[in-house]
Amino acid sequence: MRTEESENDRLAPVFVHDEPKYFEKEAHLYPPEYEGHFESLVMTAETIRSRVRDLAAIIKEDYAGMRPVLLCTLKGACPFYTHLTDALQDLCQGYDMEFVRASSYEGTSSSGNVIVSGVKPESLQHRHVLIIEDILDTGTTLAHLVPHLEDVGKPASLEVCTLLDKRLEEPKKYVAKYVGFSIPNHFIIGYGLDYNELYRDLKDIFIISKEGISFDRSNLH
Ligand code: HPA
Ligand code: MG
């Protein structure tokens, strides 16, 4: 039997401290149009990959004998979803794949309006559903999405696995069961996370610079 304490330890996120991480430009791969757009490093692709494998092992343990529906939230969670499902394959853990579009963000602030689309309720019915998220910020998106899916999909269970959880002053509107990393409160980009649809195509995660925020993308084709 696991005690509550050991269960909390088992599910504890990796803590990324507040101090900025300086980085050697040469050590990172990124498209040339992003030059000067990173303020500091949050985590490398290797750090992400290693934690994703740990999360897969925890999920395999918890879903033993089940075939969960892994519900990817588009577009941000795509890289995380790809690497997590790959790690689950290595562990011979089966799953079904579904995708949902849910967003509450415009620019760098949460708008509070959540739009859900793209998932058929029948695909969730009586199933163990695990939502795969890139980032948990205020929790606005999940606080709408989770009850909505429970209501229309009637799943047997519904949990959330988020790669990142931003540390905020105020309480969150939703708390996820599985969390990869607890991160400081900055606007970050990379590994699926965007700023106005840029930077999803980065392997690593960075804090965006002022230059990145004010970049005019209209001459990129
Ligand atoms: N970056 C990108 N998208 C986000 C963030 C962030 O820091 N927080 C919530 N959505
Ligand atoms: Mg976004």
Q: What is the ipTM of this complex?
A: 0.95
Ligand 1 nearest atom to the CA of residue 195, by list position: 2
The per-residue pLDDT for 106 is: 59
- For residue 139, the enclosing domain spans 43-186
Q: Do the domain assignments include residue 110?
A: yes
Residues 6+ apart with CB under 8 A from 162: 132, 133, 134, 135, 136, 176, 178, 179, 180
pTM of the full structure: 0.95
| Total structural domains within the chain | 1
Q: Do the domain assignments include residue 209?
A: no
**In angstroms, rounded to a whole number, what is the distance separating the alpha carbons of residues 180 and 126?**
27
Cβ of 127: how many Cβ atoms within 10 Å? 21
The closest alpha carbon to 69, from 148, 176, 149, 143, belongs to: 149
Q: Do the domain assignments include residue 119?
A: yes
Dist. CA 197 → ligand 2 center (Å): 7
Helix axes 45-62, 78-90, angle to 10 degrees: 60
142-194 pLDDT tens trace = 999 999 999 999 999 999 999 999 999 999 999 999 999 999 999 999 999 99
The per-residue pLDDT for 113 is: 75
Ligand 1 nearest atom to the CA of residue 166, by list position: 8
**Please, what's the largest Cα pairwise distance for the chain?**
59
Of the listed ligands, the closest to the CA of 133 is 1
52-76 pLDDT tens trace = 999 999 999 999 999 999 999 999 9
- CB distance 10 to 58 below 8 Å: yes
CATH number, residue 125: 3.40.50.2020
- CB distance 71 to 129 below 8 Å: yes
94-115 pLDDT tens trace = 999 999 998 765 556 656 678 8
Q: Do the domain assignments include residue 206?
A: no
Percent of the chain at pLDDT > 70 equals 96
- The residue whose C-alpha atom lies closest to atom 7 belonging to ligand 1 is 187
Site to probe by mutation for ligand 1, drawn from 193, 197, 204, 206 as the one with most ligand atoms within 8 Å of Cβ, is 193
Q: Do the domain assignments include residue 30?
A: no
Ligand 2 ion: residues within 5 Å (CB): 105, 194
Of these residues, 137, 165, 201, 204, which one is catalytic?
137
- What DSSP string runs through 2-24? --HHHHHHHHPPEEPPSSPBP--
Q: Do the domain assignments include residue 205?
A: no
State yes or no: is 137 an active-site residue: yes
Q: What confidence category does residue 21 fall into, taking pLDDT thresholds of 50, 70 and 90?
A: very high
Which two three-digit tokens encode residue 69? Answer: 């529906």
**In angstroms, rounded to a whole number, what is the distance separating the alpha carbons of residues 115 and 134?**
17
- The residue whose C-alpha atom lies closest to atom 3 belonging to ligand 1 is 193
Dist. CA 129 → ligand 1 center (Å): 24
